Every structure is written in structure tokens, then in C-alpha cells.
């Protein structure tokens, strides 16, 4: 049988519609109503909203430490490249204080819309144990891990005028002189590394002076405000190269490639101290998995680029990357590790 033409089908449909009767015996009204319904269904099936590609507006990376330190340096290196990769502005917003707590508290309350992220250090894993409820955030409930950008060991340095050249000499010197040490803030891993060494192992009362980030803490030891500095390696790396400070020991399992002359704390007789400071990206809890994975993959690719590796290395940072699942496992392990260190050192917020 020959198929009906479009005109014939339309004629038949109109004919059928015209035969329908309503209670008001108005076939024309019924015809109009039915045609309107059919058109509405057809339009609904054809015209559907097109989902905009993510991201479609600027992304804010809130850094919980001030400019000049390793967290801020890593954030700016990554954010600048992310702007190019995502073809959307990615800007850094420093919100500092309380060893990283202030930034975390602020971002935890930001919309979980995929346009707000926190870039912080390993203090994120320390502060819940150190401050308790006063930390102002719950690391397992308020945030979703995205990626670890980089890691680096902590170092113990002294001002160029301090008359010591080795860690053992510093120990002896501290027995005779009242000394103090700077750190990026209470609860940061450099603070706990030195808290463990000076107070628990040496049983010395070297005074802790917390600063608002690695930048100020590094400047403090360079300027002689404190004779000793406890920071991540990136904070004082360039000052060491310039001879303004001397790095006496590093908390990594092996010597840092760019600091081959500096022994590890393990080599110096302290194998129990193998600590690292890391830089992580996190999102407010509830941020969509698709958005988190998009940012994770973008940063992982950026971290793997030779140019980015070089820039991070120059800042004393070791690129990491990894998947969201790997990042989540790493941070959960760090929460356990630093909780134990806080308990053993009896560290208190200052």
C-alpha cells in the first residue's frame, strides 16, 4: 500500500479532530485544543535547554595563608595556568589567620556551586586536633578533597648571626641562651616538627612565636626577630642560598635534591621525625562530583607539565597530583598522623 503524503496525513488528522464532540457540542474548540496540545508536546520534545559548559564564570581560590609563603606561591602558579586551561578567570583571595582556620571557616560557608575552593596547607589536618571545636570546621564533613598540588619537608634554620652551623651546635647553644623560633602559625606542621624536637626530645624551653604564614615567619628569622625559624623548605630556600639563613636539618626521608648539603633529621639521630607540609585544594561539601573531577583533572594535568614542575621546584615544592580518591585517602591518613603528633607533643594553640 502506498504511504500517505504529509498533506494527506494532515488532512486525515484534521478530519479526525473535527469529529470529536464535547459537552458544548463545539468541534472547532476541541480541534484547537487538541492541536495546541500536540504542538506543545512536539515543541517540548524538540526544544530543550542546553546546559552551559563548566565553568561559565570566574572561580575563586581562597588561600588560607598570606602572600609569600609556599601555599600562596603554589596557588598562584596553579591559578594562573588554570585560567588559561579553563578559559575562565581563576583568582586568588587570601584570607589569613589562626594557622589556616580563618580561611577554612570562610570557605566552608561559601556556596558549594563549583566556583569556590580552598587552598590550604597540612594545618588543615592538624587544627581539628589542636583547636578542637574552636577550629571552626569539620574536615570530614565541611569539605570534599580535590587534589594535593605539592608537598615539601619542613626545615630548621637559623639567622646568619647565630653562632651555630649544625643542629647539634644549636642544641648546645639553646642550653646556654634563651632562644625563640618562628613558625607559620600554631598547628602548622613546621610548628609541630620543632615542638616535637625542641620540647619533647630536647626538653628545652625554646619559645614558640607564631606568625600569620610562612612568608612572615621566614622574614622573621631573616631579620633576626627570632634566631630560629621552623618553616617548610620553600619559605627560606632562597634566603639560605643567599647566605642570610642557614638550614640545619630537613624533615624528609631523603635529602632535598636542591639542598644536598643539608642532612635529614633522620641522619642526625631523629628518625621519628619525618614530616611534610603539603598544599591541597578542597571544595565546600556538597560541591558536585563532576565539578570536583573537572578541577582535579585540570590541576593534575597542569602539575604534570614540565614548566609547572620547574616553577614549583624553584619554590621548593615537590609536585604531587593524583585522583580525587587518592587525595581523599592521603588527607584521611594525615588527619590520623597529626592527631597523634598533637597528642604526643601536648601542643596547644597560641
3-state secondary structure the chain: CCCCCHHHHHHHHHHHHHCCCCCCCCHHHHHHHHHHHHHHHHHHHHCCCCCCCCCCCCEEEEECCCCCCHHHHHHHHHHHHHHHHHCCCEEEEECCCHHHHHHHHHHHCCCCCCCEEEEEECHHHHHHHHHHHHHCCCCCCCEEEEEEEEEEEEEEEEECCCCCCCHHHHHHHHHHCCCEEEECCCCCHHHHHHHHHHHHHCCCCCEEEECCCHHHHHHHHHHCCCCEEEEEHHHHHHHHHHCCEEEEEECCCCCCCCCCCCCECCCCCCCCCCCEEEEEEEEECCCCHHHHHHHHHHHHHHHCCHHHHHHHHHCCCEEEECCHHHHHHHHHHHHHHHHHHHHHHCCCCC
Note whether 148 and 177 are same-domain residues: no
The closest alpha carbon to 119, from 91, 98, 138, 141, belongs to 91
Q: What pLDDT score was predicted for residue 26? A: 52
Provide the pLDDT for residue 15. Answer: 46
Among residues 348, 298, 334, 246, which one has the least CA distance to residue 59? Answer: 298
Q: Which residues contact 144 (CB under 8 A, 6 or more apart)?
A: 282, 283, 284, 285, 286, 287, 292
Of 208, 233, 250, which residue constitutes the final position of a domain? 250
Statement to judge: residues 170 and 82 lie in one domain: no
Q: Is residue 341 part of a domain?
A: yes
Instruction: Assess if residue 40 is contained within a domain.
Output: no
What local confidence, expressed as pLDDT, does residue 49 receive? 52
Please give the pLDDT value at position 313.
Answer: 85
Joined grid coordinates for residue 28 = 472547532
My answer on whether 148 and 285 are in the same domain is yes
211 occurs within a structural domain: yes
Q: Are 201 and 270 contacting, i.e. CB atoms less than 8 angstroms apart? A: yes
Residues 138 and 281 in one domain: yes
On whether both 180 and 138 belong to a single domain, the answer is no
Whole-angstrom distance, CA of residue 149 vs CA of residue 136: 24
Per-residue pLDDT tens, the chain, 350 aa: give them: 444 444 444 444 444 444 444 444 555 544 545 445 555 544 444 444 556 799 999 999 999 988 887 899 999 999 999 999 999 999 999 999 888 999 999 999 999 999 999 999 998 999 999 999 999 999 999 999 999 999 999 999 999 999 999 999 999 999 999 999 999 888 789 999 999 999 999 999 999 999 988 889 999 999 999 999 999 898 898 999 999 999 999 999 999 888 999 999 999 999 999 899 899 999 999 999 999 999 999 999 999 999 999 999 887 788 999 999 999 999 999 999 899 989 988 888 87
127 shares a domain with 164: no
Which domain CATH number covers 174? 3.40.190.10
- Tell me, yes or no, whether 281 and 144 share the same domain: yes
In a domain, 2, yes or no: no
- Pair type for strands 143-159 and 318-321: antiparallel
Give the separation between CA 114 and CA 107, rounded to whole angstroms: 12
Same domain, 200 and 335: no
Residue 263's nearest CA partner among 274, 275, 251 is 251
Alpha carbon 149 to chain centroid, angstroms? 7
State the residue range of the domain holding 86.
59-152+277-345
On whether both 72 and 159 belong to a single domain, the answer is no
In a domain, 15, yes or no: no
CATH number of the domain enclosing 108? 3.40.190.150
Beta strands 116-121 and 276-284: pairing type?
Answer: antiparallel
- Is 30 part of a structural domain of the chain? no
Residues 136 and 166 in one domain: no
* Residue 255: inside a domain: no
Number of domains in the chain: 2
Task: Please state, in angstroms and rounded to a whole number, the distance separating the CA atoms of residues 233 and 247.
Answer: 9
Q: Are residues 222 and 311 in the same domain?
A: no
- On whether residue 159 sits in a domain, the answer given is yes
Do both 162 and 227 map to the same domain?
Answer: yes
Amino acid at each position: 500500500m502506498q504511504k500517505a503524503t504529509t498533506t494527506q496525513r494532515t488532512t486525515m488528522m484534521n478530519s479526525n479532530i473535527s469529529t470529536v464532540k464535547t459537552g458544548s457540542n463545539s468541534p472547532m474548540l476541541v480541534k484547537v485544543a487538541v492541536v495546541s496540545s500536540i504542538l506543545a508536546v512536539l515543541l517540548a520534545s524538540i526544544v530543550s535547554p542546553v546546559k552551559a559548559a563548566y565553568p561559565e564564570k570566574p572561580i575563586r581560590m581562597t588561600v588560607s595563608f598570606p602572600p609569600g609563603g609556599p601555599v600562596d606561591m603554589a596557588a598562584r602558579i596553579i591559578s594562573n595556568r588554570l585560567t588559561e586551561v579553563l578559559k575562565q578567570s581563576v583568582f586568588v583571595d587570601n584570607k589569613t589567620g589562626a594557622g589556616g582556620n580563618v580561611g577554612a571557616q570562610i570557605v566552608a560557608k561559601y556556596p558549594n556551586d563549583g566556583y569556590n575552593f580552598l587552598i590550604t596547607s597540612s594545618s588543615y589536618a592538624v587544627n581539628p586536633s589542636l583547636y578542637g571545636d574552636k577550629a571552626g570546621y569539620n574536615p570530614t564533613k565541611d569539605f570534599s578533597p580535590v587534589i594535593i598540588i605539592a608537598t615539601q619537608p619542613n626545615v630548621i634554620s637559623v639567622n646568619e648571626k647565630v653562632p651555630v652551623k649544625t643542629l647539634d651546635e644549636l642544641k648546645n647553644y639553646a642550653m646556654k641562651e634563651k632562644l625563640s623560633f618562628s613558625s607559620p602559625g600554631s598547628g602548622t606542621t613546621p610548628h609541630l616538627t620543632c615542638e616535637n624536637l625542641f620540647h619533647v626530645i630536647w626538653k628545652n624551653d625554646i619559645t614558640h612565636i607564631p606568625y600569620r604564614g610562612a612568608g612572615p615567619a621566614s622574614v622573621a628569622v631573616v631579620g633576626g626577630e627570632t634566631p630560629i625559624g621552623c618553616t617548610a623548605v620553600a619559605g627560606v630556600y632562597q634566603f639560605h642560598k643567599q647566605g642570610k639563613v642557614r638550614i640545619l636539618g630537613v624533615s624528609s626521608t631523603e635529602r632535598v635534591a636542591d639542598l644536598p648539603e643539608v642532612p635529614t633529621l633522620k641522619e642526625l639521630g631523629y628518625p621519628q621525625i619525618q614530616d611534610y607540609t603539603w598544599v591541597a585544594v578542597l571544595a565546600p561539601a556538597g560541591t558536585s562530583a563532576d565539578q570536583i573531577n573537572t578541577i582535579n583533572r585540570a590541576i593534575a594535568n597542569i602539575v604534570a607539565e614540565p614548566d609547572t614542575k620547574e616553577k614549583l621546584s624553584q619554590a621548593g615544592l615537590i609536585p604531587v597530583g593524583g585522583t580525587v580518591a587518592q587525595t581523599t585517602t592521603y588527607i584521611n591518613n594525615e588527619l590520623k598522623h597529626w592527631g597523634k603528633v598533637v597528642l604526643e607533643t601536648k601542643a596547644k594553640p597560641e
